[in-house]
Structure formats: structure tokens, C-alpha cells
Homo-oligomer: A and B are copies of this chain.
Amino acid sequence: MTSDFTTPCRRFYCPHLSLDEAALEGDQARHATRVLRLRAGETVELFDGCGTVARGTIQHVGRDQVTVSVDQRRREEAAAWEVTIASAVPKGNRLQDMISQLVQVGVDRWIPLRCERASVNPREAKLERLERVVVESARQCRRAWLMRIEAMRSLAQILGESADVRLVAHPGGPRRPRLGEGSGRAVVLIGPEGGWTDAELEQAREAGWNDWSLGPHVMRLETAAVVAAALLR
């Protein structure tokens, strides 16, 4: 009748999974019907982006909607450490590539950061596209939780964040911090291509943040963000 969660099957994002029947809409429905040409009776996996994953059977394939009867549900706990990357905003496609990689590595939150040497502010339309990248990457990499994208902040605003681990990526700092066995919140700040200004670094240190060197080479900002997240996770 239905498969367990181990057999691989097609996966879709569906924010509402609490009822016995779920509906795929928009991109997800189009992908199911026009790209994959799925039909009634096929098994699919759905995830709501907040830790619930379900298996179900396609009931009806409509023009812009696919209905699925939910057969099984399972909860995935969030990781013990909540990892936030707050970074300057790379230009063009590099932003989308970075967002996709952060999702794959398991980052929980990304916050665009306004820095002295960079203040690219992604426009509304761009942020909307990024949300689609987040969903698409989560779908592909089988994450149950969506990465959250928050509004742009200044350095002063982000320095006020309370977190158990507060790091500023900077070539001069020490290597290899490691998240402990417990749980908590970690926030890492990644500066722009031109680096932090001395004033910014000073401001961060005064607010109790720690320098952290990601390696001997100067990384592009999107590489630094992904490496930082991978090292913490």
C-alpha cells in the first residue's frame, strides 16, 4: 500500500502537512506534472520545511495542483546547534550559489550584512528568488528544515545578537573552534571581499565576538561562508 521512508522516491515541498490530504501547488506541482509526469497512484515524499516529512500517494493530478493522500508522517529533530551565517552579499549568481551551498551544508539562518566595504542590498525580487533556491536545494539534499533568510542588518545590529558562540571570520585569528557536545546557537560573521575595516573588527571585539581564521589562504566570501558552516557543523 505504501512504502516506508527508506525506499527512495520523488520529494516535494509542501508547507501544510497536518491534514490527511496535502496539495502541491505552484513550482512543486509544475515540477511533478510537467517535468516528472507523475500520475495518480505514485508514491511521493513531502516535507514542510519545519521538520515534518511525509509519504503519500498521488490522488489527483490537476492543471496547477496535485493532491496527495498522506499515509505516513515522521518528525526530524532540528540539529542541536543552530548555525547562523551573517555575511556580506556577493554579486550576481554567486549569491544564489552560496545560498544553495549553505543549505546543503546545513545552515539554519542566513542574514545579509551591511558592511563598510560592501552594502549590496538584495532587492525584494531577488530575495524571492533566493527563497526558491532554498526550497529547491532543500528538496534535492533531503533537508527537512528550510534555511531561513532574514532581513539585512547593519554590523551594529548583528553584534547585539545573543548567541553561545559568536565568531568573526578574519585571516588573523586562531584556527579551529569547534561546537561542543551540547546545544546552543552559533553565529558567524563573514566580511566582504575587501575585508573588515579595523574599526569594524574593533567594534566586534568590544562587543565580545571572537576572531576566527578559516585557513591560510584568502577566500572569496562565498567560499568562506560555506567553509565556516562546514567546520562548525
CA distance A207 to B172 in the complex (A): 41
Nearest chain B CB to A225's CB is how many angstroms away? 11
CA distance A227 to B214 in the complex (A): 12
- Contact pick for A230, options B79, B142, B218, B227, CB 8 Å: B227
A216 on the interface (CB 8 Å rule)? yes
CA distance A82 to B112 in the complex (A): 35
Quickly give the copy total for this chain. 2
CA distance A226 to B100 in the complex (A): 14
A95 on the interface (CB 8 Å rule)? no
* B97 contacts A219, C-beta separation under 8 Å: no
Nearest chain B CB to A52's CB is how many angstroms away? 16
In the bound complex, residues from chain B placing their C-beta under 8 Å from that of A117 are none
- Contact pick for A227, options B143, B220, B226, CB 8 Å: B226
Interface size of A in residues (CB-CB distance below 8 Å): 25
CA distance A105 to B233 in the complex (A): 17
CB contacts under 8 Å to B, within A78-133, are 79, 97, 100-101, 103-106
- Contact pick for A142, options B104, B140, B214, B218, CB 8 Å: B218
Pairs A–B under 8 Å by Cβ, sample size 14: A100-B223, A101-B220, A103-B217, A104-B219, A104-B223, A105-B219, A105-B223, A106-B216, A140-B220, A143-B217, A215-B230, A227-B227, A227-B230, A230-B230
